[in-house]
Structure 1
Amino acid sequence: MKAAHPEVVAAIRVNPGETLRKGRESKNWSLPDVASRLNLTVTSLSNVETGNFDKLPGNTFARGYIRAYAKLLGLDQTALVQQFDHYTGTDSQGSNVHSLGRIEEPVRLSHNILRIVSLLLLVVLVGAGFFWWQDQASMRGKDPVSTNLEHVEVESADGTTQIHPLDEPEDQAVVQAQGSTSSLPLPAGNQTAEVAPTVPPVVAPASTVPAAPVHVVPVTPTTTVAPTPATTTPVTAPSTPAVPVAGAGLVNLNFSADCWTQVTDGNGKVLLSGVKRKGENLDVSGKPPLTLRLGFARGVQVTYNGQAVDLAPYSSGETARLKLGQ
């Protein structure tokens, strides 16, 4: 048997999409109207009508489109599918695609959805990092904080070493001095005399038997007076005025109230540091300029090389800072 001529085979091939297009136009339906009814895109439906089946997802989907289109128009579905097979040179045997009222196209994930999901993930990561940073900061805040105060060690005459902070020590000394002053015992006043109770006379009970007369001796009440403590007045030996050494400055400090005091010479050596009590009179000599810090400036009178020093220009509140011998 001879094979058919190529021109004859080409003439037999009929595009089923052309038949579908004519059926649609006979009903005066537009392409978008049919596409919405079949749940297809206008582009896919246009490819069916023009015979561009290679632009569709595959022959199986193309047969499904043709069946659904033919059913909507009331045409023979089987004949149009056979035309499709002859037109494309494929075999429809084994195909599980049947006539469908609505055809769902392959779902493709939109790029916009990918961008939104990526943005949400980025926001979650940034938020998690921020909360982690706050948690670490709060944990660091709970650690003991080391103080930045500088201290100075002062060795006194009795061999003991005193440590004083250099950051506003006078304010702390004022509080300490005021606390020690408030805790002093009050002077004892006049005490009330204690009077012993009067002892009543003792009378012998009466008896039927006559007895010798009993003489009652009255008891004289006694008064006990507590002794008044004697007050002693401290006797201060007259002090000899100190004479400044050549090339050195002499500071005299006369305390009328408790006051924290620090004296530093020109080399930075601490000559005096501590709380001085009311009534003390000190002379400090050293290389000028002498730096003087007072925690309670109103409670001390200062002279430098025999001349009185006015502390008012150097006072700030209850404290004073000044340099002598500049």
Structure 2
Amino acid sequence: MSEHQPSPDMSVSDTLPGKLLKAEREHQGLSRDEVATQLNLRPSLVDDLERDHYDQIPIAAYRRGYLRAYARLLGMDEKAVVGQYNAQFGTTEVERHPPAMSPSVRPPGKLGKYLFRLVSLLVIAGLIGLSYVWWQSGDYGRTSPSETSDAAAPAADPRKLTLTFNTDSWTDIRDADGKKLLYGTNPPGSSKTLEGKPPFKLTIGKSAGVVLEYMNEPVDLKSATRGTVAKLTLGE
């Protein structure tokens, strides 16, 4: 995929960061709701960022973090966007902190240290157990009877799609009946095989890191990508 091209008529040096982000989002054809879903933020908060209204984000570090994540999603220069925020608000922003507390705290004794270690080990063991259950409940690493019987030449099925994610990617994939086959963020290293009624409508974020196959053939996402998001229809 080609390098990021900023939207026309925008200058980082004299534009508020929220205005820069909004212009680039519209340039890439993304809706505010799509951005909110990919960033796991409320749409109203994305709207506040684009309007440079930061009253609902009292901690300056969070403001910069949200702006940085938004810029990264759009493939923009994160340092430039955050630097523009610092230039506009960095010297005047006032953070609201809860009142400082100075309770008298005794250092933990040996029993406290042992309990802390025990709790930590239990938490780690629980996470490992949940990860194993999650892995077993999915389709990762499994093969269907048809694949084992005819692994060398599987028949092309117009009802199936296969996606492999080399980076974290947000997707919205629906079939002809409007059924959501895959919706949300997919972690790197994962793969999905979807089945539904063609034609399929696909929206794939960070498409440069995604491999899509349909009818046993790879699909070129570059020609359907605008910015970092690919939008296309398959099986018509």
Task: Give the TM-score of the pair, scaled to structure 1.
Answer: 0.29
Q: Report which of the two structures shows the higher radius of gyration computed on alpha carbons.
A: 1
- Bigger helix fraction: 2
Q: Which has the higher contact order (CA 8 A, sep 6+)?
A: 2
